């Protein structure tokens, strides 16, 4: 059992997954390759990402609202509450998004609360391959 930054006990580390529409295929490939490692986490994702991960990869994922309808803000709130260990947010940097302020909020909140955020597959791969992933949160300090 691990504890968040507020000292609340959590049964498993939570990992948030978000993928812009142009990066959904990348998320499926990433999640398929890392299925066993991801299954050790309590997963939360925005609505369409969660549905896709359940149907295509077979992962158990709790869904929040779609990103443009407040899902990004819901994940940012969970990060701020110390409920999320890391965020994998596969961003499509070449497409304009009407909810850009929410996207920026997720990134800002992750930085404020020192929660790792991966915005592309190579950085997500680095996170998943890190030996620190196996260390319960709070047992390693930087």
72 is catalytic: yes
pLDDT at 1: 45
Q: Among positive and negative, which fits the CA dihedral 37, 105, 9, 59?
A: negative
Q: Where are the beta strands (DSSP E) in the chain?
A: 2-3, 9-10, 14-19, 42-45, 61-63, 86-90, 117-118
Contacts of 140 (CB under 8 A, 6+ apart): 132
Contact by Cβ (8 Å): 27, 33 = no
Nearest by Cα to 136 from 31, 41, 18, 39? 41
Domains annotated on the chain, with CATH:
20-134 (3.40.50.1380)
Is 70 exceeded by the pLDDT of residue 6?
A: no
What DSSP assignment string belongs to 105-118? HHHHHHHHTT--EE
pLDDT tens-digit profile of 24-57? 999 999 999 999 999 999 999 999 999 999 999 9
Task: Tell me the per-residue pLDDT of 52-84, one tens digit each, with 9 for 90 and over.
Answer: 999 999 999 999 999 889 999 999 999 999 999
Catalytic residue among 72, 92, 100, 102: 72
45, 65 contact by CB (below 8 A): no
Mean pLDDT of 7-29: 86
């Amino acid at each position: 059992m691990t504890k968040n930054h507020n000292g609340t006990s959590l049964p498993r580390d939570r990992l948030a997954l978000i993928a812009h529409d142009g990066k959904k295929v990348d998320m499926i490939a990433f999640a398929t390759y890392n299925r066993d490692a991801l299954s050790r986490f309590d997963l939360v994702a925005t609505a369409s990402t969660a549905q896709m991960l359940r149907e295509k990869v077979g992962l158990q994922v709790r869904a929040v609202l779609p990103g443009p309808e407040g899902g990004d803000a819901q994940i940012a709130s969970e990060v701020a509450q110390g409920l999320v260990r890391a965020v994998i947010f596969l961003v499509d940097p070449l497409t304009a998004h009407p909810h850009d302020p929410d996207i920026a909020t997720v990134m800002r909140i992750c930085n404020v609360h020192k929660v790792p955020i991966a915005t592309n597959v190579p950085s997500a791969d680095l996170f998943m391959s890190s030996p620190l992933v196996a260390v319960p949160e709070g047992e390693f300090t930087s």
